Structure 1
């Protein structure tokens, strides 16, 4: 109907002012009837005088104020004709009779258009009825959703994950009959260590996350993440029931404060508030917030479906330690460049200074500063972190994670990391590449025994292909050396380090369901704890099924 309205507007825009502007002294006696006939109003026009394009009128120029309106009347409705000499005489005075004749011709054309619309509506009457029914149904559903939504400010996202899997172990350090593995004596004290049981049963575990994202202004964010899981005793749940490096990223367990899994309980995993301050600044504060939540750039595009937790820290497992607790941060970003600074204290909720608090030696704190750049296909970031003992997650082998971080309150570590990624614009033979490297220097506030950790390193490379065999399916693998000692105090040579591999293929079953089979291999999961002259390795397989809602 839009052309009809515009045609009427154009017609009245041209004719009414002209008609009202005619001299009232004009009379029928002064009317040139022959000229009016030659003028050719609509269907009355002589075929030699009918105009189909405004370019046929020699005296009408694009600079004329009514050029567009006249063009619309000619080309859309065909109700204007010129004089036999190919002119329009747009500046010539117009009598009321001439105005009435021109308006009548245009109205005839509009009537023809209206009749055509009626015919089309009759022809497609059934289709229009179906469309109307669908629109009415959609309106009803929208009304129902608005009536039943639990909040006008909050969105809910859910993720439920099933994991079925097992590990197999090999090496001369294994006591087959007892299903245990020997450990080397303590590198510092020389004390003997008892063998540990091998986690090689088949397990079936779950993890459930409910994330509530609330915005009060449309720009801020209050995130509440509820989580429950039963990975505490799983073969992929981390120490003490499994080997730490085989812990899955999805493996959640709630710690009751004594190092014992609380069981299948729902707990707050994240609770923080983010607010843009303008000029590219964003502030974050939370009673339970992660280091990764307060970085403007996470310099990795690996993986599409997370398997081992150790592969999620960008190759710099001390600098990107994913510390979780009470904290605050600030970041600035503009034109791809960003600067982030934050502080997180694992024990920030503890009232006793001997066990925790904010910004003291027992806080389990991490302070980080990152500078990065992210373009359309690539990104690069450098980070420095000050790491205290009891930091939430520093993946590696002894003596770094146990002696220096977990159990020694006098230790402090300065960690540096450099990470980057590149990804193709379209899926194909070329994979995305994510890589990172970290180096860490550990010192102590009091003298330590000979053989304590001094320097450690880590690195990681991950490759990922998208739309493999079928659209939505992804394949990837990664290799890494988690944090391992490269220098000990007193000139002691470290006997640490191992390689970790993972391979996975993600099936996109539906928009909300994925199934990911995966394999993992750890060449020396006990690191320095592996007895001298003996070997010990781990091979595992699992199937991970994720439901998003």
Structure 2
């Protein structure tokens, strides 16, 4: 009933809850709520009832409709006044909206792909190394990576990495031994040639019967590290020396690259990874599973949370694998001789929840048993520290120290190579979200191992552009 249509004893109400005889289950409850809250044209009886089932005359119905229309007219007039008052602002907003729609349409029409995201990393490095066999020289090198990430379902991933660089062999100042930089991509087709660095497909397989999620990876050119559910370090992988980015175990975490397949399982921090990579698997004369495939078979058990993690790993390293972060003696034994290796390692990290005096700490230790040549056992380890927000927010300082894989026992009883050490110090200045400049120095003690050689000192400035 409206105030105009109500009998003399009716009273105007301001809330539907004032009616004692109305329930939310009544078929007209929502309609009455709207009339009360939006227009205030509903009245009730003094005893707090609405009497919705009571009959009404046509005069009462006309009065009810007239009262509500009067309120609607008031609201409409108010809206018209507001629209006139803010007409200029509304015109500006309409123009901006039209402009945004036009830009969105142009971007959609010219976008690279509806399923593929392109990201890139361009790195410039100028520096040199003392006591370099090729001479004490300073060189200026680059590395360019273009990552194409494609998803067909929103959950899967097809990753294609295009890459080109000019860190070919020993022509750059950092050589190809323990002084090799992490960014120093070795081009199969030669320097300054764009090639396929990686191409692989990852697909979640769903829940396992015991809980957790399975993910499968298959690729014609995939790295061992791409098929591990946990990379157990907080030390940046794009710092300076490659030997100090391998979790203290260069043979177990050898980043073998080639055709491969893998499977990992994850559940509440726990993970198990199993994978196989054949460095020569694309060569028909070598094959994918032959004795000359240069294969690495890996099993990793890990547990990781946001601020810490730990992993144990075992890798069976076949002859011919290009082992990074090892002395020349070990590299020659595995790559050129018929030597196979059982590599074991444990690695982990911890990082503070907030920036301060405490750094993130990463470390690892590896021990290996080889057969088939002069090498018998070898060891390696590393510790990496990183402080965030040093001198300015976003900047960081770090240092790493360790020993690459060195021979601790041989068939001929030769002395251990334990005198081989690697040190590095770096400071990353974050110029912007996309640009960083990293000056660094490093020291290598007896990097030639059994082949003897003086210490090396290197210095460089690395500039990275992310886009």
TM-score, length of structure 1 as denominator length: 0.76
CA contact (8 A) 1:303 1:476 kept: no
Q: Secondary structure, in 3 states, of the residue corresponding to 1:319? A: coil
TM-superposed deviation, 1:228: 0.8
| 1:278 and 2:206 matched | yes
Distance 1:70 1:467 in 2: 60
| 1:544 and 2:467 matched | no
Match of 2:85? Answer: 123
TM-superposed deviation, 1:202: 1.6
Match of 1:251? Answer: 184
CA gap 1:469/1:123 in 2 versus in 1, 3 angstroms: farther
CA contact (8 A) 1:398 1:529 kept: yes
After TM superposition, list the pairs within 5 Å mapping 1:399-478 onto structure 2: 399-402=329-332, 404-409=333-338, 411-444=339-372, 448=373, 452-478=374-400
CA contact (8 A) 2:301 2:312 kept: yes
| 1:227 and 2:227 matched | no
TM-superposed deviation, 1:440: 0.8
CA gap 1:392/1:36 in 2 versus in 1, 3 angstroms: farther
| 1:335 and 2:265 matched | no
Distance 1:316 1:292 in 2: 13
Shifted more, 434-443 versus 512-521: the winner is: 512-521
Distance 1:480 1:224 in 2: 33
Match of 1:82? Answer: 44
Match of 2:193? Answer: 265
CA contact (8 A) 2:275 2:299 kept: yes
TM-superposed deviation, 1:429: 4.1
CA contact (8 A) 2:312 2:345 kept: yes
Match of 1:516? Answer: 438
Distance 1:463 1:113 in 2: 67
Distance 1:127 1:483 in 2: 70
Distance 1:463 1:455 in 2: 28
Q: 1:509-534 CA deviation, whole Å, 9 max, x = no partner?
A: 23322222222222332233336xxx
TM-superposed deviation, 1:372: 1.8
After TM superposition, list the pairs within 5 Å mapping 1:299-310 onto structure 2: 299-303=232-236, 305-310=238-243
Match of 1:388? Answer: 318
TM-superposed deviation, 1:204: 0.9
Distance 1:278 1:122 in 2: 58
Which structure has the larger Rg? 1
TM-score, length of structure 2 as denominator length: 0.88
CA gap 1:53/1:389 in 2 versus in 1, 3 angstroms: same
Match of 2:143? Answer: 207
Unaligned runs of 5+ in 1: 1-13, 16-31, 40-48, 170-179, 181-195, 257-261
| 1:503 and 2:422 matched | no
Larger strand fraction of residues: 2
CA gap 1:210/1:103 in 2 versus in 1, 3 angstroms: same
CA gap 1:293/1:64 in 2 versus in 1, 3 angstroms: same
Shifted more, 147-156 versus 85-94: the winner is: 85-94
TM-superposed deviation, 1:303: 0.8
Unaligned runs of 5+ in 2: 208-212
TM-superposed deviation, 1:544: 1.3
Distance 2:58 2:237 in 1: 75
CA gap 1:95/1:314 in 2 versus in 1, 3 angstroms: farther
Distance 1:122 1:387 in 2: 78
CA gap 1:281/1:52 in 2 versus in 1, 3 angstroms: same
TM-superposed deviation, 1:329: 1.6
Shifted more, 379-388 versus 127-136: the winner is: 127-136
